[in-house]
Amino acid sequence: SEEYSEVAAFDVGADDYITKPIKPRALMSRISALFRRDSKKSSPSSLITIGELTIDRTSYTIKVNDKEINLPKKEFELLYFLAQNPNKVFSREDLLQNIWGSDVYVLARTVDVHIRKVREKIGDDFITTVKGVGYKFSLN
Protein backbone atom coordinates (compact mmCIF):
# COMPACT_ATOMS: atom_id res chain seq x y z
CA SER A 1 0.00 0.00 0.00
CA GLU A 2 3.02 2.29 -0.22
CA GLU A 3 2.87 5.03 -2.85
CA TYR A 4 6.31 4.19 -4.27
CA SER A 5 5.16 0.60 -4.98
CA GLU A 6 2.15 1.89 -6.90
CA VAL A 7 4.25 4.40 -8.88
CA ALA A 8 6.88 1.73 -9.64
CA ALA A 9 4.19 -0.63 -10.92
CA PHE A 10 2.81 1.99 -13.32
CA ASP A 11 6.33 2.93 -14.42
CA VAL A 12 7.03 -0.62 -15.56
CA GLY A 13 3.75 -0.91 -17.51
CA ALA A 14 0.95 -1.86 -15.13
CA ASP A 15 -2.58 -1.01 -16.28
CA ASP A 16 -4.00 -0.89 -12.78
CA TYR A 17 -3.00 -1.29 -9.16
CA ILE A 18 -5.05 -2.75 -6.31
CA THR A 19 -4.13 -2.54 -2.65
CA LYS A 20 -5.05 -5.00 0.06
CA PRO A 21 -7.57 -5.68 1.42
CA ILE A 22 -9.19 -6.38 -1.94
CA LYS A 23 -12.88 -5.62 -2.24
CA PRO A 24 -14.46 -8.25 -4.53
CA ARG A 25 -17.03 -5.96 -6.16
CA ALA A 26 -14.40 -3.31 -6.89
CA LEU A 27 -12.14 -6.00 -8.36
CA MET A 28 -14.93 -7.26 -10.64
CA SER A 29 -15.67 -3.70 -11.78
CA ARG A 30 -12.00 -3.11 -12.62
CA ILE A 31 -11.85 -6.37 -14.60
CA SER A 32 -15.01 -5.43 -16.53
CA ALA A 33 -13.54 -2.01 -17.32
CA LEU A 34 -10.36 -3.63 -18.66
CA PHE A 35 -12.38 -5.96 -20.91
CA ARG A 36 -14.41 -3.02 -22.24
CA ARG A 37 -11.23 -1.06 -22.92
CA ASP A 38 -9.63 -4.04 -24.65
CA SER A 39 -12.67 -4.73 -26.85
CA LYS A 40 -12.72 -1.11 -28.03
CA LYS A 41 -9.05 -1.34 -29.01
CA SER A 42 -9.42 -4.58 -30.91
CA SER A 43 -12.52 -3.69 -32.92
CA PRO A 44 -11.47 -3.96 -36.54
CA SER A 45 -11.61 -1.04 -38.89
CA SER A 46 -14.46 -1.16 -41.36
CA LEU A 47 -12.29 0.27 -44.16
CA ILE A 48 -9.14 -1.42 -45.45
CA THR A 49 -7.04 0.21 -48.15
CA ILE A 50 -4.06 -1.64 -49.57
CA GLY A 51 -2.58 -0.22 -52.73
CA GLU A 52 -5.31 0.08 -55.33
CA LEU A 53 -7.67 -2.19 -53.35
CA THR A 54 -10.26 -0.68 -50.99
CA ILE A 55 -12.59 -2.85 -48.92
CA ASP A 56 -15.45 -1.14 -47.06
CA ARG A 57 -17.27 -3.44 -44.66
CA THR A 58 -20.00 -0.95 -43.79
CA SER A 59 -21.25 -0.81 -47.39
CA TYR A 60 -19.96 -4.25 -48.48
CA THR A 61 -18.16 -2.67 -51.41
CA ILE A 62 -14.81 -3.38 -52.97
CA LYS A 63 -12.94 -1.08 -55.31
CA VAL A 64 -9.92 -1.93 -57.41
CA ASN A 65 -8.43 1.10 -59.21
CA ASP A 66 -11.63 3.05 -58.35
CA LYS A 67 -13.75 0.42 -60.14
CA GLU A 68 -16.45 -1.01 -57.89
CA ILE A 69 -16.68 -4.80 -57.76
CA ASN A 70 -19.61 -6.69 -56.28
CA LEU A 71 -18.92 -9.89 -54.38
CA PRO A 72 -21.38 -12.29 -52.77
CA LYS A 73 -21.32 -12.23 -48.97
CA LYS A 74 -19.02 -15.22 -48.36
CA GLU A 75 -16.52 -14.09 -50.99
CA PHE A 76 -16.55 -10.62 -49.44
CA GLU A 77 -16.07 -12.01 -45.93
CA LEU A 78 -13.23 -14.22 -47.11
CA LEU A 79 -11.39 -11.33 -48.77
CA TYR A 80 -12.03 -9.02 -45.81
CA PHE A 81 -10.74 -11.60 -43.33
CA LEU A 82 -7.56 -12.25 -45.31
CA ALA A 83 -6.96 -8.51 -45.83
CA GLN A 84 -7.28 -7.90 -42.08
CA ASN A 85 -4.41 -10.34 -41.55
CA PRO A 86 -1.93 -9.57 -44.35
CA ASN A 87 0.95 -12.00 -44.94
CA LYS A 88 -0.49 -14.49 -42.44
CA VAL A 89 -1.13 -17.93 -43.89
CA PHE A 90 -4.46 -19.59 -43.10
CA SER A 91 -5.29 -23.22 -43.75
CA ARG A 92 -8.59 -24.17 -45.38
CA GLU A 93 -9.83 -25.32 -41.99
CA ASP A 94 -8.94 -21.97 -40.38
CA LEU A 95 -10.81 -20.11 -43.12
CA LEU A 96 -13.82 -22.41 -42.86
CA GLN A 97 -13.95 -21.86 -39.10
CA ASN A 98 -13.58 -18.08 -39.32
CA ILE A 99 -15.83 -17.43 -42.32
CA TRP A 100 -18.46 -20.19 -42.30
CA GLY A 101 -18.34 -21.06 -38.60
CA SER A 102 -18.66 -24.41 -36.91
CA ASP A 103 -22.44 -24.75 -37.21
CA VAL A 104 -22.39 -25.14 -41.02
CA TYR A 105 -21.07 -28.20 -42.81
CA VAL A 106 -19.07 -27.35 -45.92
CA LEU A 107 -16.16 -29.14 -47.55
CA ALA A 108 -12.63 -27.77 -47.39
CA ARG A 109 -12.57 -27.41 -51.18
CA THR A 110 -15.33 -24.80 -50.86
CA VAL A 111 -12.59 -22.39 -49.82
CA ASP A 112 -10.69 -23.13 -53.06
CA VAL A 113 -13.76 -22.32 -55.14
CA HIS A 114 -14.38 -19.05 -53.30
CA ILE A 115 -10.70 -18.05 -53.57
CA ARG A 116 -10.79 -18.73 -57.33
CA LYS A 117 -13.92 -16.61 -57.75
CA VAL A 118 -12.44 -13.72 -55.73
CA ARG A 119 -9.26 -13.87 -57.81
CA GLU A 120 -11.30 -13.77 -61.03
CA LYS A 121 -12.99 -10.57 -59.86
CA ILE A 122 -10.14 -8.64 -58.20
CA GLY A 123 -7.09 -10.15 -59.88
CA ASP A 124 -4.41 -12.63 -58.86
CA ASP A 125 -2.14 -10.08 -57.18
CA PHE A 126 -3.69 -10.13 -53.71
CA ILE A 127 -4.32 -13.71 -52.58
CA THR A 128 -1.39 -16.11 -52.69
CA THR A 129 -1.48 -19.88 -52.40
CA VAL A 130 1.08 -21.38 -50.04
CA LYS A 131 1.34 -24.95 -51.31
CA GLY A 132 0.48 -27.57 -48.75
CA VAL A 133 -0.51 -24.94 -46.18
CA GLY A 134 -3.26 -22.58 -47.32
CA TYR A 135 -3.80 -19.01 -48.44
CA LYS A 136 -2.58 -15.57 -47.50
CA PHE A 137 -3.24 -11.98 -48.46
CA SER A 138 0.00 -10.64 -49.90
CA LEU A 139 1.14 -7.08 -49.58
CA ASN A 140 2.92 -6.08 -52.77
* In the chain, domain spans: 3-42, 47-137
pLDDT in the model for residue 136: 94
**Average of per-residue pLDDT across 81-93:** 91
pTM: 0.66
Closest CA to 81 of 105, 59, 100, 99: 99
Work out the number of other CB atoms within 10 angstroms of the CB of residue 86: 13
Higher pLDDT, 14 or 127: 127
pLDDT at residue 89 tops 60: yes
**Average of per-residue pLDDT across 97-110:** 84
What SS3 class is residue 61?
strand
| Mean confidence (pLDDT) of the chain | 86
* Architecture in CATH of 47-137: Orthogonal Bundle (1.10)
pLDDT in the model for residue 28: 87
Closest CA to 118 of 67, 66, 65, 80: 80
